[in-house]
Structure 1
Amino acid sequence: MSFLIKYCQLTNRWLTAGIPLVLLLLSVSSGVQGQPKAPEAPTTPPTSDTLRISLPDLEQQVLARNYQLLAQRYQIDIAGASVIQSGLRPNPNLWFQGPLYNPQTKRVLPFGSPTQADMQSGQFNSGAYAIQLQQVILLAGKRSKLVALAESNRTLAQIAFRDVLRTLRFQLYSTYANLYFDMQALSLLQAELARQQRLVESYRIAQQTGGVAPYEVTRLDVANRDLQANIANYLAQIADSQATLRVLLRQPANTFLMPTDLPVGTPALPAVATAIDSALTNRPDLALSQEQITNASRSLALEKARRTPDLTTGLYFEKYSNAYNNFTGFQVAMDLPVRNRNQGAIRAAELTAKSVQAGVENQQTIVQSDVLNAYDKLNAYYNQVNTRPAGYLDRIQNISVEATKAYNARVIGLLDYLDKIRTYQQARLNHINLLNNIFQSQQQLDYVTNTKFF
């Protein structure tokens, strides 16, 4: 009986000490091998064709191939053609009249010379015709005002192109950065999932001998499911970024765009006044609003000029006319501005001018607010990264492996272990998100000022 008691005591000590030692050797070694270093992009993209491309190279290709930019360039060319058309003078008008049928002689198109008898009797059964040449003369400087308005429209198209270019560049930089940092986070979570799965497998082996409670394996499985859900979310975000880049680049759908490198620094911020002045000077949407004032003013000047009717002049020649043979005369014609003096169009142009003036003042307020908003966000992220204690990243680097060692050695419990693992993962993800936020905020400040500060 005493022998049996001693045997059970030895067996119990082996179960409580020996199995954790085996687990420690299995999972710690795998944990050391799976310890994530600097996050890297996944080595296997979800598509067969992979295009590794840097941000500057991608920007050059977008500028050359983007549909939206090409369409806006055509708008500039169209506006330039309108300037040419506005400078052209009206064509002269040539009018001719001749006899189609003479019922007296029963002749069609009687253009021959009249007979001597017809000439003596004063009846011209043939040879009569009339020619009229007219020219419209634009008065009140309408042509020059049309040219000025067309030139303003071309300037609007050029400014609109700059605004489209600014927006596309910001969208490209933002999407590329999101893809780059999402793939870093994905790499981190995939490494964590691989390490956790090795730990679960070793604990399943120990569970068969009774060294590990079943609920621990189940709880670790749940933690792995959470990691898989996070990985799926990042894969969805990566797919969205890929779709946006393919549209910007006109890239085939089966090509995976792999970002190469995106260094993030924290250079000094420009002064707030400098940023606001740069925005007020360089923002194309504000310049568009200001040019609309010029456009509305020129449109109003043109509508006022249209109160003055145009003058039509001409020369008239009639062969064998009622007055005398070979009648030559001149013509002058003009509409009388009695009822229609273009009152409605002038009033509409005046209201448009007032409207765009108010729009410029509102746009200036929006620009200043955009700059202050972007500046405050970037300053907040700078403070966050600058106030981190020295060696912060080095200290969080080994939390995962050390927690695994302590858990296998039964120094800490399951809940404490999972808490340390979540702390490590969240700290690493927070660091990745902080880098992304810094880069995005820098690009946002460049966007709202249309100035390359970073």
Structure 2
Amino acid sequence: MDHFRFIPLLRSCIVLGWLGMMSPLLAQPTVPASGAPSVADTIRQSLPQLEQLFLERNFQLLAQRYQIDIADAAITQAGLRPNPNLWFQGNLYNPQTHKVLAFGPPSQADKDAGIYNSGYYAVQLQQVILLAGKRSKLVALAESNKSLARLAFRDIMRTLHYQLYTTYANLYYDLQGLRLFEDELGRQQRLLESYRIALQSGGVAPYEVTRLEVAIRDLQANRANYQTQIADDQATLRVLLRQSAKSFIMPTELPLIRTTLPALAVALDSAQTNRPDIGLSQEQINNAERSLALEKARRTPDLTTGLLFEKYGNAYNNFTGFQLAMDLPVRNRNQGAIRSAETTLKSVTSGLENQQNIVQSDVLNAYDKLNTYYTQLAARPDGYLDRIQNISVEATKAYNARSIGLLDYLDKIRTYQQAQLNNINLLNNLFNTQQLLNYTTNTRFF
């Protein structure tokens, strides 16, 4: 290469190397330069702060709380006794006297003649009495329904809490990945500009410029992938928190990673004890038993009692009588509803064992995954992260000194990028799998 043509290229590379070494990868995420909201729209939130907003604002939690209140009102309603029934009958029109609403007392002459063209009315008061303990069974069933609503609330809380934590962690580490590619893209764009200048003077071959352009396109594609992932994370958090669409939630930090696993037996026992979906299966059995007891009680008809007073219309003028009424259970003994309730009980009883097996499988799966990531983290040698950082620095120095070519330089930079991404992904997977174990056991181990 001609000496005078080499000087501009060397000068550009030296400047590029200096710029590259002055902008190492930062550990903390910052707002991405591309497509980021304004500073006024950025909300910096720690995980505890975000969790508090989630408990106050999340629509699904609020809606499920209302379901508990509805179930509580149903208990009150189930405990109420039937209202008494008041019945009144009177004469609207008498065709013999052509009088309307003739409620005045008859004359003495009419009484003596046994004629009652006015003064007639009848009043009846009835009360239904529930037999076979129907009212207490209705209350018991309503109480079971409230327990189901509470367990459903706990299950929704567990699921949404897991989604909140994992989305926050994904956003935290996606921002780190985006920052990595932003830094590398800036570095290689500066290198490309210096090569284009050198190309004009014949200092480099055209294919080298093309090779750099391809590398930049790869970086831009990776940056776009992270930007779309961050957009998905933001969309999920906005729904969970009912946050304004214009705001950008910026994670600040994550809890320190703990590398101690609970004993497997403890995790399995915690899941069987604390998982609300197992509680739901158990309560569904209780609910089905109470429903069956109620349907069997409904085989017994209810008793209707009453008092009747009739003026001038019965065996004697002022008739007072009592009433008893009951349906005769000849054909309808609630057979269909009882059979349906029995079938439901069989179904939910078999579902409990299946749910217990699912829970056990979930815990074992999360436990095995967490063990895998712990092993991967423990196998990382001391000083590994420092040596990763040195790959980029040393490659830039060697390239500036012209001791390596462009292809070797790009290969080392790709190695540096992949090592950084592997570290980011490992930490993200480790945190999310810890949350998965919390989720599958419904216990805050981490």
What is the TM-score of this pair, normalised by structure 2? 0.97
- 1:175 equivalent in structure 2: 167
Of 370, 374, 377, the residue aligned with 2:366 is 374
Report what 1:310 is aligned to: 302
Tell me how far apart the structure 1 counterparts of residues 172 and 30 of structure 2 sit (CA, whole Å): 8
Letter in 1 for 2:350: A
Q: Let me know the Cα RMSD of the aligned residues.
A: 1.4
Alpha-carbon displacement from aligned partner over 1:270-309 (angstroms, at most 9, x marks no partner): 0011000000000011101100000000000000000000
Shift, 1:157, TM fit: 0.4
- What is the CA deviation profile of residues 49-78 of structure 1, one whole-angstrom value per residue up to 9, with x for unaligned ones? 111111111110111111111110110000
Amino acid aligned to 1:375: Y
| TM-fit CA distance, 1:355 | 0.2
**1:434 — aligned with what?**
426
Q: Which residue of 2 aligns with 1:261?
A: 253
1:40 aligns with 2:32: no
Q: Percent identity?
A: 71
- Aligned residue number for residue 216 of structure 1: 208
Shift of 1:211: 1.7
Distance, in Å, in 2 between the alignment partners of 1:263 and 1:229 is 31
Shift in Å, 1:415:
2.4
Q: Tell me, yes or no, if the aligned pair for 2:90 and 2:121 is still in contact at 8 Å.
A: yes
In the TM superposition, what is the alpha-carbon distance from 1:15 to its structure 2 partner?
4.5
Q: CA deviation at 1:401?
A: 2.5
> Does the 8 Å contact 1:26/1:202 carry over to 2?
no
State how 1:141-220 maps to structure 2 within 5 Å.
141-220=133-212
Which structure 2 residues correspond to residues 1-400 of structure 1 after superposition, within 5 A?
12-15=2-5, 18=7, 21-42=10-31, 44=33, 46-48=36-38, 49-400=41-392
8 Å Cα contact 1:296-1:349 kept in structure 2: yes
**Letter of the structure 2 residue corresponding to residue 162 of structure 1:** R
Q: Which residue of 2 aligns with 1:3?
A: none
Report the more deviating stretch, 324-333 or 203-212: 203-212
What is the letter of the counterpart of residue 2 of structure 2? N
Q: Which residue of 1 aligns with 2:402?
A: 410
For 1:67 and 1:263, locate their aligned partners in 2 and report how far apart those are by CA, in whole Å: 27
1:296-341: per-residue Cα shift (whole Å, max 9, x none)? 0000000000000000111111111231110111111100000000
**One-letter code of the match for 1:267?**
T
CA distance in structure 2 between the aligned counterparts of 1:79 and 1:447, rounded to whole angstroms = 27
2: CA distance, partners of 1:40 / 1:50: 13
Report the secondary structure of 2:139's partner residue. helix
Q: Which amino acid aligns with 1:344?
A: G
The structural deviation recorded for 1:406 is 2.0
Q: Is the 8 A contact 1:42 1:186 kept in 2?
A: no
The AA in structure 1 aligned to 2:126 is Q
CA distance in 2, matches of 1:89, 1:196: 81
Q: Does structure 1 retain, via aligned residues, the 8 Å contact 2:30–2:175?
A: yes
Q: Which amino acid counterpart does residue 291 of structure 1 have in structure 2? A: E
Q: Check conservation: 1:20, 1:408, Cα contact below 8 A.
A: no
Q: CA deviation at 1:167?
A: 1.0
Q: How many residues matched? A: 443
2:13·2:191 contact (CA, 8 Å) conserved in 1? no
CA distance in 2, matches of 1:96, 1:435: 80
- Judge conservation of contact 2:282–2:352 (CA < 8 Å) in 1: yes
Secondary structure (helix, strand or coil) at the match of 2:2 reads helix
Which string of whole-angstrom CA distances, capped at 9 and with x for unpartnered residues, describes residues 127-179 of structure 1? 11111111100000000000000000001001111111111111110111111
| Separation (CA, whole Å) in 2 of partners of 1:414 and 1:242 | 38
1:97-143 Cα shifts (integer Å, max 9, x gaps): 11001111110000001011110111100111111111100000000
- The one-letter amino acid of 2:339's match is R
Cα 1:179/1:37, change in 2 over 3 Å: closer
For structure 1, the residue ranges without an aligned partner over 5 or more in a row are: 1-10
Q: Distance in 2 between matches of 1:103 and 1:236?
A: 87
Determine if contact 2:42/2:247 at 8 Å carries over to the other structure. yes
TM-superposed CA distance for 1:405, in Å, is 2.5
Quote how far apart the aligned CAs of 1:14 are: 4.9
> Is the contact between residue 136 and residue 312 of structure 1 (CA under 8 Å) also seen in structure 2?
yes
**Counterpart of 1:136 in 2: which secondary structure?**
strand
For residues 189 and 39 of structure 1, what CA distance do their matches in structure 2 show? 14
- CA distance in structure 1 between the partners assigned to 2:263 and 2:329 by the alignment: 59
Q: SS of the residue aligned with 1:388?
A: coil
Supply the distance in 2 between the matched residues of 1:58 and 1:30 (Cα, whole angstroms).
Answer: 37
What amino acid maps onto 1:410 in structure 2? R
3-state secondary structure, aligned to 1:275: helix
Contact 2:175 2:230 in 1 (8 A): yes
**How far off is 1:43 after superposition?**
5.6
- Counterpart of 1:6? none
Indicate the residue corresponding to 1:425 in structure 2.
417
Give me the whole-angstrom Cα distance separating, in 2, the residues matched to 1:71 and 1:154. 14
